[in-house]
Every structure is written in C-alpha cells, then in structure tokens.
C-alpha cells in the first residue's frame, strides 16, 4: 500500500510522524513529511486521520486497484465522517460514531 | 560511539502497549494506584499494534444463554480438540466484565432496542471501534502508567536465580540504550507477521492482514531466555478478501455470505456438513477453499449478491471501522458487492496465539516458565479464539497475577527492584543490539535487514509450507528449511544498519529468524495433520489422537539448540470434542 503526500498542504506539524506504527514517516529539512518506503505502509490510515490539514491520502498499490478513487476521513468529537469518491467523482458519505 | 544509557526502575514493566498490554496496565493501576508501571512500546501507544485502524466487532463475548463452559466447548471444536481448557475457561469467565469495562472507557457498542448488545453471530457483538486504540491509550495515561514510546524491547534482564528482572531495549528516535529494572515483567508484544513471503510481494509488501510491525519480538526474547513455547505449529492462515486482505468474518457473520466456488456451489455447506458447514472450524474453512482452488474449481468467493443497496451501505460502514481500504478498493475497481461476489484468498502464514495458539507456555495465572515473567494476548500460547476481548481478559489476569507475585514473593511494591549488579548483561546487550549500527559507522559492508528478511521469507515459503505450495508440509522439505535457517544464524553478525530505524528493522529480522527456527522445529515434530489448512502434513495426512493428542512445546538450550518437550492435553469440560457445538 502507500501514501499520497500533498506537499503544498503539509505544515510539518509532525503528528503523522508521531503516530505511524511502522515509524515510516519523517520530516525533511524544509519541514515536509516524507515516507521511507511506500511498500512498507500497512494502510492503517493512522497518519491520514492524524493530519488536520488533509495532506495525506491512502493510495492502493496499482497492482491491485485502478487509479483515481479516494477515501478521506474527517474526525469530530464522537464521530467520524468518511467521504469515498470514485474515478467519475461520484461521492458516498458515511457518518459513524466513535 | 557508545550510546547513551537510560536506566529506569519500576514495579512492573509491560512490554508492548497494545490490546492486552493496555488492559494489564489499567488493571494494575486501578488495584494499586501507587504501583510504578512502565510500558515499553516500539511504536506510539495511540495507534500501535493490531488495533491501529480500529475494529468493528468483539469476537469473543458470551451472548445471552452462553456460559464459560459452552464457550470452551466451542473453542475446543474450533481448535480441533486440542487446547488448554484451563486457560480458555479462566479468561471466558471475565469476557463480559472486561467488555463492559471498555465500554465504560468510551467504546461505542451497538445495542438492540431493549439495551442488550447487538450480536453478530454466536460469540460476537458489533461495535464502532475506529477509535478503540486511542481510547485505551488515554485510559492508560490517565491512570498514571509511564509509557516509553518508540523504545524497542530486545531482551529480558534476568537475576542470578533466573527470575525476570526487567527489560532492555533501544530508542528508535533517540538512539539511547534503555534498561528498565522491575520486580515483574509482562510480555504483550502480539504475534509475528513477516515470517513467510507475503501475499503481495512487490508494492504491497506490507499489505498483510496481521500487523507487519508485530514481528515476534516477545517470542524471540522468550526463546533467547530459554522460556518454554507451545504450539507454534498451529499457524494461522487467514481466509481473506483477495488483494486488500480484509477480514471475512464481517461478511460471513454480519451479512450471512456463504463461501462459493466459481460454479456457484456452496462447498462448505455441501461437503463439510458433518463438520459444521459454513460454520466449520476456522482451519477447515481455509482447507475447503484450498481444495476448490487445487482441484480447479476456483476462484472462490463470499457470495454477497443477496445484499440490498441498504445492506451494502451497512457493509461499507462496518468495514470503515476496521478496514477502510476495502471501501476504497471497491470504489477504485467499480465493485458492487450487491451485484458481484467478493473474491477470496489465503494470506501468508502467521505465528500468533490470538486466533491460533502459538506462544509462551503459561500457567493459569499467565506466568511463563520464567519466574516473574507473565504473558498475555497474542504472544501467550495454549488459548486460541482469544480475539480482542480475550486479550483484554488475559491482560487483566496477568496484571493481577504480577501484582500478587510482587506482594507475595518480592517484598511488595517500592524501590530497588533488583539488588544485584546486572552490568554484565547490560554491556553484552549494548554490544548485541547496536552492532549492526556500529558496523555501518565503521564503514563495513554487510547485509541489509531487508535482504535477510526476504531470504528468511523465501526459505519459509519454499520449504516450510508457504502460500506457493498451498501451505502443505513434508518432512524432506522441512529438513531443508531447518538447515538453511540454521545457516542464517551465522550471518546475523553481518547485518548493517545506517540509522536507528534500520536498527529496528535489523532486530525485527533477528527476531523473525528465531521464531522461524522454532516454528520449523515444531512443524517437523508433529507427525499428524491436526489442523488441515493451517498444518497439513502431506506425509501424515490424518489426525492421530492415539499418538498426538498432546502439546508440542520447545525450549532453546544454552548451546542454541531447540529441544522439544511434549505435554499432555487435559480435558476439563465434559462432552464430545470434535462434533459441531
Ligand atoms: C486487521 C485485524 C483485524 C482484527 N479484527 C478483530 C475484530 O474485529 N474483533 C476482534 O475481536 N479481534 C480482531 N482482531 C484480533 C485482535 O485485534 C488481536 O488478537 C489483538 O489485538 C491482539 O492483542 P495483543 O495485545 O496481543 O497485540 P497488539 O494489540 O498488536 O499489541 C502488541 C503491541 O506490542 C508492541 N510491540 C511489538 N514488538 C515490540 C517490541 N519489540 N518492543 C516494544 N513494543 C513492541 C506493538 O507495537 C503493539 O503495540 C483483528 C486483528 C487484526 C490484525
Ligand atoms: S500531520 Fe499533516 S501537516 Fe502534519 S506533518 Fe503530517 S502531513 Fe504534514
Ligand atoms: S497508513 Fe499507517 S503504516 Fe502507512 S504511513 Fe500511515 S500510519 Fe504509517
């Protein structure tokens, strides 16, 4: 699995670096997050959930999935909202307690 | 070039702040708020271990009408008649209380109109567990346990009498060497992934079902300290959805999807009726699938075509709490589970004591064969079908037992856990732990951790029943696996690590090698097929109760040789052992 990093949205706060269970993320000199090895990512999305700036997105390996769909979590007090988008831009939203 | 040393003293040190470790810490701090409890955690406790992404069900719960005895009977049937009934019973008595406890900590559990929990099958209840791990972590911290995040445990400290005296390790972020002396140690590091070639070898190398960051450290530390281990040969091979390796219990139990082959035949229902059909023991559900594939009737699927659009939406919601990747996968590949069935595949084999029963040989109080060392969760052996709630129950037992031990045998809580000088052990461990890094600093060439990892995985896949051979085992191939792994032991001294992250990887691979060697010794010793699919010996294809209704245990001796010990099975709960329960 792997991770999309949208550098322009990353403020270098380090919360994803703190939380990744595989110690895969680190901050580069200009305070942007980077991943050591895409193939080492477990796809647990702990980092994605920890980023308040929406700079991280889970990316499935191309060997198993077509390009173009996305899934994003949004966290609130006691709830989590997921927005899943397919290649054509159709969205499905899910609101769950947490 | 010597690393800075940090020395800490505690009453209890817990290795691994995951599911079981958190409950052990909470239990101790609630019973004895003054107790000094230190958790050593290689990742960050907020999202470490199997619970990192969350959970959508509690898989071991006594729904109304069930008892610890009925649970034990079921687990015995699921484990093909061999298990430690004392361990299962003692944990089962706590399952419901510990679930209630975690609900009080904030876990949303789905409820019926009358306020009872919503079952998802006989032993399961539905939860919204996305936030489960942060919730446990908060409870641990609120109760004042000290958490050392990003510290990788590497070995136990032992005193002159051979009792556990603490833990050693190193900081991935600060590069320091840590020693935590304590009067009791609880191991809760989870099981081991990455022993076999992964299902996705290329860009999905870590797309495993079990956490790829649980690499068998607790097993390896025990093996190196000559603790007795049990049942490694009962490997866990998960039947999962193809590509994203997502759990299928949600489909089978929550959405009543049967297994079908490419001819739409329900092979479990028709061919395994006498063993429970769709609800047959876990290993047989894998075995049934493998047989269809081998005999050319694959691919196989979970048939979800009966689901209405509303139910498909519920299915997605349920997966988002645990495995959001599959919802993305369906969107990316335009899969509608209401219109097409979900393809299955088997994972690479894992060594773990939470679904199967590989782990430390422990007594009812969860003490290992090393005095003062306790084990709980996936690292503890003899008790399969543990799941998240069984790990919690076992964590509470280990926590209580460690406290009791300190009070009765170690003079109670308080300072100076170990009087004697342990500096020789510390010096040796600094040398052992940091040598891959020292070597790289000196500019020497050598073997990178990933190279050795792939070497081990290839040996295991080729000769010890990996995915490429339908997981089947035979003596001649196991002998080769053993020889090749033994040779690798002499290669460990060539590992090099450029930084502390790579040093962690180096130790993960050293630990996996230790686990793989014990696993192969166990696989060789059991000359019957007890768990078809998980442990299929093609040279001994039948179950043989006359000779093999017993545990295969092992212990590494001073010379590094693995000695096998056989232990008897004891039936405590009456009744038939193999028929559906
Ligand atoms: C993907 C997945 C989904 C699951 N879904 C469910 C479900 O829905 N319901 C259910 O009941 N069960 C489920 N299970 C099973 C259940 O989650 C596990 O059995 C349970 O979490 C194991 O608990 P544990 O404490 O033994 O291990 P973990 O919770 O994994 O904890 C082990 C801890 O030890 C740490 N550690 C490891 N090595 C070291 C070291 N060298 N030094 C320091 N720390 C270390 C790890 O970082 C981790 O924090 C699931 C498991 C997986 C993998
Ligand atoms: S959490 Fe987001 S903003 Fe912060 S470092 Fe990570 S990617 Fe950048
Ligand atoms: S998805 Fe999980 S494993 Fe992958 S980078 Fe993020 S936190 Fe790490």
CATH number at residue A54: 3.30.70.20
Q: CA geometry: angle at B197 spanning B326 and B81, to 5°?
A: 80
Domain of residue B271: give its range.
239-346
**Cβ(A25) – ligand 3 distance below 6 Å:** yes
CA–CA dist B505, B510 (Å, integer): 9
Q: What percent of chain B has pLDDT over 90?
A: 94
- Asked if residue B230 belongs to a domain, the reply is no
* pTM of the complete model: 0.97
Q: CA geometry: angle at A40 spanning B208 and B330, to 5°?
A: 55
What CATH number is associated with residue B337? 3.90.700.10
CB atoms within 10 A of CB A12: 12
- Per-residue buried b or exposed e for B108-117, using 16+ beta carbons within 10 Å of the residue's own CB: bbbeeeeeeb
**Cβ(A58) – ligand 2 distance below 6 Å:** no
CB-side exposure of B577: number of CA atoms within 13 Å? 14
Element (H, E) at B520: helix B500-525
Report the candidate in B322, B326, B313, B340 with the shortest Cα–Cα distance to residue B241.
B326
Domain of residue A90: give its range.
2-97
3 state SS of B39? strand
With CB atoms and an 8 Å threshold, state whether B329 touches A67.
no
With CB atoms and an 8 Å threshold, state whether A41 touches B46.
no
Q: Which of A22, A25, A63, A86 to mutate to test the interface with B (most CBs of B within 10 A)?
A: A22
Rg (CA), chain A: 14
- Whether B201 shows a pLDDT value over 80: the answer reads no
Whole-angstrom CA distances from B79 to B87, B340, B534, B535 are: 14, 32, 11, 12
In which band, very low, low, confident or very high, does the pLDDT at A12 lie, cut at 50, 70 and 90? Answer: very high
Interface predicted TM-score (ipTM): 0.95
**Cβ(B68) – ligand 1 distance below 6 Å:** no
With CB atoms and an 8 Å threshold, state whether A43 touches B207.
yes
Q: What are the strands of the beta sheet with B239-241, ordered from one edge?
A: B239-241, B342-346, B301-302, B259-260
Q: A60 CA distance to ligand 2 centroid (A)?
A: 20
CA–CA dist B354, B190 (Å, integer): 8
Report the candidate in B239, B146, B177 with the shortest Cα–Cα distance to residue B7.
B177
| Extended beta strands in B449-549, E state | 472-473, 536-537
- Whether B204 shows a pLDDT value over 90: the answer reads no
Looking at B295-422, list the stretches that DSSP marks H as alpha helix, in order from N- to C-terminal side.
Answer: 309-320, 325-332, 387-409
> pLDDT per residue over B552-572, tens digit each?
999 999 999 999 999 999 999
Report the candidate in B262, B268, B252 with the shortest Cα–Cα distance to residue B315.
B252
> pLDDT per residue over B308-363, tens digit each?
999 999 999 999 998 999 999 999 999 999 999 999 999 999 999 999 999 999 99
pLDDT at position B418: 65
Please state the rounded mean pLDDT for residues B25-33: 98
pLDDT at position B200: 79
> pLDDT per residue over B494-536, tens digit each?
999 999 999 999 999 999 999 999 999 999 999 999 999 999 9
Closest-approaching ligand to the CA atom of B249: 1
The encoded tokens of residue B175 equal: 């590069």
**Nearest residue in chain A measured CA to CA from B108:** A98
Please state the rounded mean pLDDT for residues B74-81: 97
Closest-approaching ligand to the CA atom of A50: 2
- Asked if residue B315 belongs to a domain, the reply is yes
- Is A89 buried (19+), middle (13-18) or exposed (0-12) by CB count in 10 A? exposed
Give CB contacts under 8 A, 24+ apart, made by B546-553. B549/B81, B549/B82, B550/B82, B551/B82, B551/B84, B551/B230, B551/B231, B551/B361, B551/B382, B552/B230, B552/B231, B552/B232, B552/B233, B552/B522, B552/B525, B552/B526, B553/B228, B553/B229, B553/B230, B553/B231, B553/B361
Q: Say how many domains are in chain A.
A: 1
In which band, very low, low, confident or very high, does the pLDDT at B236 lie, cut at 50, 70 and 90? Answer: very high
Please state the rounded mean pLDDT for residues B159-168: 96
pLDDT at position B421: 87
**Nearest residue in chain B measured CA to CA from A22:** B213
Q: Say how many domains are in chain B.
A: 1
**Nearest residue in chain A measured CA to CA from B504:** A23
> pLDDT per residue over B393-403, tens digit each?
999 999 999 99
Q: Whose CA is nearest to atom 2 of ligand 2?
A: A51
A64 to chain B: which residues are within 8 Å by CB?
A: 200, 204, 243-244, 329
- Asked if residue B468 belongs to a domain, the reply is no
- Whether B219 shows a pLDDT value over 90: the answer reads yes
- Asked if residue B330 belongs to a domain, the reply is yes
Please state the rounded mean pLDDT for residues A67-95: 94
- Is B339 buried (19+), middle (13-18) or exposed (0-12) by CB count in 10 A? exposed
- Asked if residue B581 belongs to a domain, the reply is no
- Whether B220 shows a pLDDT value over 70: the answer reads yes
Residue B302: beta bridge partners?
Answer: B259, B342
Q: Which of B118, B324, B449 to mutate to test the interface with A (most CBs of A within 10 A)?
A: B324
Please state the rounded mean pLDDT for residues B89-115: 96
With CB atoms and an 8 Å threshold, state whether A23 touches B501.
yes
Is residue B108 within 8 Å of B417, Cβ to Cβ?
A: no
Looking at B278-358, list the stretches that DSSP marks H as alpha helix, in order from N- to C-terminal side.
Answer: 282-294, 309-320, 325-332
> pLDDT per residue over B430-452, tens digit each?
999 999 999 999 999 999 999 99
pLDDT at position B199: 85
CB atoms within 10 A of CB B468: 12
B317 to chain A: which residues are within 8 Å by CB?
A: 94, 96
């Amino acid at each position: 699995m792997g991770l999309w990093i949208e550098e322009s949205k990353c403020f270098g706060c380090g919360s994803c670096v703190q939380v990744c269970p595989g110690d895969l993320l680190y901050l580069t000199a200009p305070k942007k997050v980077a991943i050591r090895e895409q193939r080492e990512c477990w796809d647990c999305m702990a980092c994605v959930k920890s980023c308040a700036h929406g700079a991280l997105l889970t990316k499935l390996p191309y060997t198993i999935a077509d390009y173009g769909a996305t899934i994003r979590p949004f966290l609130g007090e006691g709830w989590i909202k997921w927005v899943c988008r397919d290649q054509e831009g159709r969205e499905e939203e899910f609101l769950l307690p947490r | 070039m010597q690393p800075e040393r940090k020395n800490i003293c505690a009453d209890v040190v817990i290795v691994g702040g995951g599911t079981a470790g958190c409950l052990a810490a909470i239990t101790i701090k609630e019973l004895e708020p003054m107790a000094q409890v230190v958790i050593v955690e290689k990742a960050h406790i907020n999202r470490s271990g199997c619970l990192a992404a969350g959970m959508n069900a509690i898989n071991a719960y006594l729904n109304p009408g069930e008892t610890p005895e009925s649970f034990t009977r079921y687990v015995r049937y699921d484990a093909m008649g061999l298990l430690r009934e004392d361990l299962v019973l003692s944990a089962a008595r706590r399952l419901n209380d510990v679930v209630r406890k975690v609900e009080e900590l904030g876990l949303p559990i789905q409820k019926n109109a009358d306020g009872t929990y919503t079952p998802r099958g006989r032993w399961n209840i539905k939860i919204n567990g996305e936030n489960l791990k942060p919730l446990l972590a908060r409870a641990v911290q609120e109760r004042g346990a000290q958490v050392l995040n990003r510290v990788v445990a590497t070995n136990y400290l032992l005193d002159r009498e051979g009792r556990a005296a603490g833990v050693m390790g190193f900081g991935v972020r600060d590069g320091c060497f840590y020693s935590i002396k304590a009067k009791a140690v609880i191991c809760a590091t989870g099981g081991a992934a990455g022993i076999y070639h992964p299902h996705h070898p290329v860009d999905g190398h870590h797309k495993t079902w079990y956490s790829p960051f649980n690499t068998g450290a607790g097993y390896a530390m025990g093996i190196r300290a000559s603790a007795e281990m049990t049942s490694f040969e009962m490997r866990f091979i998960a039947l999962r959805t193809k590509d994203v390796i997502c759990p299928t219990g949600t489909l089978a139990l929550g959405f009543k999807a049967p297994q079908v082959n490419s001819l739409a035949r329900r092979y479990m229902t028709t061919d395994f009726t006498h063993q429970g059909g769709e609800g047959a023991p876990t290993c047989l559900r894998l075995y049934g699938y493998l047989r269809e594939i081998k005999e050319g009737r694959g691919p196989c699927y979970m048939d979800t075509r009966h689901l209405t659009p509303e139910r498909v939406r519920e299915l997605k919601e349920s997966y988002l709490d645990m495995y959001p990747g599959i919802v993305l996968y369906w969107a990316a590949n335009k899969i509608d589970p209401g219109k097409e069935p979900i393809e299955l595949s088997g994972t690479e084999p894992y060594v773990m004591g939470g679904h199967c029963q590989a782990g430390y040989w422990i007594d009812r109080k969860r003490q290992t064969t090393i005095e003062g060392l306790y084990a709980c969760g996936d690292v503890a052996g003899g008790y399969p079908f543990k799941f998240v709630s069984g790990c919690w129950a076992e964590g509470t037992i280990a926590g209580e037992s460690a406290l009791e031990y300190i009070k009765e045998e170690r003079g109670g809580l308080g300072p100076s856990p170990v009087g004697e000088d342990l500096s020789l052990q510390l010096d040796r461990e600094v040398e052992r732990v940091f040598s891959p890094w020292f070597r790289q600093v000196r500019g020497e060439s050598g073997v990178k951790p990933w190279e050795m990892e792939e070497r081990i995985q290839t040996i295991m896949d080729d000769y010890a029943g990996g995915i490429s051979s339908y997981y089947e085992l035979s003596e001649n191939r196991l002998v080769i696996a053993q020889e090749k792994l033994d040779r690798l032991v002499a290669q460990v001294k060539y590992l090099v690590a450029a930084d502390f992250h790579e040093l962690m990887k180096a130790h993960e691979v050293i630990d996996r090698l230790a686990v793989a060697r014990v696993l192969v010794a166990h696989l060789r010793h059991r000359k019957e097929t007890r768990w078809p699919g998980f442990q299929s010996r093609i040279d001994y294809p039948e179950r043989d109760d006359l000779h093999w209704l017993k545990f295969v245990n092992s212990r590494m001796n001073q010379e590094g040789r693995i000695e096998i010990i056989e232990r008897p099975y004891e039936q405590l709960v009456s009744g038939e052992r193999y028929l559906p329960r």
